[in-house]
Each structure stands twice: as C-alpha cells, then as structure tokens.
Amino acid sequence: MNAIVIDQYGSPEVLQTRRISTPLVEDDEVLVKVRAASLNPVDYKIRRGDLKKVLPIHFPKVLGYDIAGEIVGVGAKVRKFKAGDEVFAMLSTTEMGGYGGYVAVSEENVAIKPINLSFEEAAALPLAGLTALQALRDKGHLTERNQQVLINGASGGVGHLAIQIALARGASVVGVCGTEHVEMVRNLGADAVIDYHRQDFTQLSAQYDIVFDAVGKSSYPECKSILHEHGRFVTTGVSPEIFFQIGLSIFTKKKARLVSVSPKGEDLALLANYAEENQLKPVIENIYRPEEIPRAHQHLESEHVAGKLVLSMEDAGD
C-alpha cells in the first residue's frame, strides 16, 4: 500500500510517501481502507521527537491517529462489523498508522461513520472529539443540567468540538479564542466569546462549574478564582505542576484534572449520535493531499488552525 512514513525524527520533510506492506489483521481487528485521516498536534510532537521518552517509536513509522474509511476485511473474532461498513476510528496510542492507505484496528476502537458526515468530516472527529467528550464528561463531570462552562482554545481542534458537546449537553458556554476566530466560535453557538488578546479570562468576576483549557495554556492556580465552590479545572496540558495540583486538590472542593484521551468505539458512537442529530459538526480549515503532508504539518505547528486539518487519501492509490 502507499503510506506516509517517517524513518527518523525531524522537520516536516522527514514525512515521505512510499510503498510498504499492507497490515495483517489480528482476530479482533478490522482492516480499513482509509479514505481520510486527520492531523493532531501529537503527530508533529512525535515527528519532532518531543515525546520519544514517553512514547518511543520504531522506524519506519506511519503516524496518524484519526481515520475514516471502509472495512475491507475482518478478523475471525470480529462480531460488530462486516466488510463494506463505513466507519471511523481513533487508532491505538502506540500503533498509530492513520497516514496509510489501509490500517488494522481493534473493533473496540471503531464506530459506524455518521451518515450525514463526509469521510473528511468523520476523520476530523475521533481524537479531538474523544478528548473533548472525556474531558468534559469524565474529568469535568458535565451532566445534563444547565452548567456554566468556559472553554479556552475554543477555536482549535479539541476546543471547537468541546463547545458543541457542552451545548448539546445543555450547558451555557463561554469560548475563549483569538480575534480572528471570535466569529467562528460565536457561530458554533457559544453564549459568549472572549478574545484573549483583549481580555484575560482568568480575571473574570463570573464563576464556572467547569473551566476546560483545551490548549493547556493556563493553570489551575490561575483559574481557581473563576471556579464555583465545587468547580473543576480540566486541562489537556501535561506538566509536572498539574500532577502536583491534582494531588493537592484531593483536599479542596475545587478540583484540578488532566485529560488523557483513550480510543473507545462506544464514545465514538456517542459522537456519531450528536453528529446525526446536527449537534456536532467539525470545522475543517483545509484538506491536504498526501504529497502535501509536510505543508500540512507546518500549518498545524502554527498553533492557530481553526478547527481541523484533514488528509484526503482518496488519491493515495492501492
């Protein structure tokens, strides 16, 4: 199959398209012909070698966690899916492989693609959408009652999906983003939008049940005063401080939490329901072809993408 492969850590130019063998399926896996993949910041962090101590990889490696495509083969013990199903998935944290023409994935990590989303749109959902859902629901304790939620990084891959998920669960939502993306976040349905170039959200007088920092740019101590008595600060940002703060907040009513996304077909099916009920739709800033992958990585590394960047694998060939 054709795949985008890296043979070493380095700049975007280490991403090379070439032929490698098509993966074989284990008993509990399905083989998916990838129609679209999406990019996440973790992809360039792995490519640069930033994560080599916590997530070592063996070269050659096919990066990419998010895919949408069609099942073309199933392992002997697969029960939930069959050849021909159109699906989307987040791939395993250690295996990856989304930038390939085909990928083998555990059936537990797969869900049927929402009928009203294209392959490109469906591929934009898994890692960012699961992060948003697991952060708000599992770490933030977002319920179905009218909670007050503030989302920092509201225009990014995770943040723009978090806005929509919080709204779908009945919350009042304030989004924080840069000047260029205020209109976008308003159009997603946020009740109020704060431009971080004009106002520091950590100095607000309002208080929130959940402050979700989807871009990990603030800290629990900075956000404590804008949390309700039992409020929860949830971040995507891994730092030594956050582990200390999580530990300390055992003794306080206000809590600090770190989300660590995990692939889960059941949660993807929930995201698919939101999409089919028109409550969740990814914003795609650009769709790239496989040969444009170095440019796509450079674009994502700017840290100012609105929504998601997607890789169309339609022309990747077999």
Residues that bind ligand NAP (CB under 6 A): 40-42, 128, 131, 152-153, 155-159, 176-178, 180-181, 196, 214-217, 236, 259-261, 300, 303-306
Tell me the closest approach of the beta carbon of residue 135 to ligand NAP, in angstroms. Answer: 8
Would you say 74 or 190 has its CB closer to ligand NAP?
190
Would you say 74 or 161 has its CB closer to ligand NAP?
161
Would you say 78 or 176 has its CB closer to ligand NAP?
176
Tell me the closest approach of the beta carbon of residue 302 to ligand NAP, in angstroms. Answer: 8
Would you say 25 or 309 has its CB closer to ligand NAP?
309
Would you say 71 or 305 has its CB closer to ligand NAP?
305
Nearest to 28 by CA among 73, 72, 64, 61: 73
Would you say 35 or 139 has its CB closer to ligand NAP?
139
Tell me the closest approach of the beta carbon of residue 141 to ligand NAP, in angstroms. Answer: 18
Tell me the closest approach of the beta carbon of residue 117 to ligand NAP, in angstroms. Answer: 18
Tell me the closest approach of the beta carbon of residue 210 to ligand NAP, in angstroms. Answer: 16
303 Rama class: left (phi>0) / alpha (psi -120 to 50) / beta: left
Tell me the closest approach of the beta carbon of residue 80 to ligand NAP, in angstroms. Answer: 25
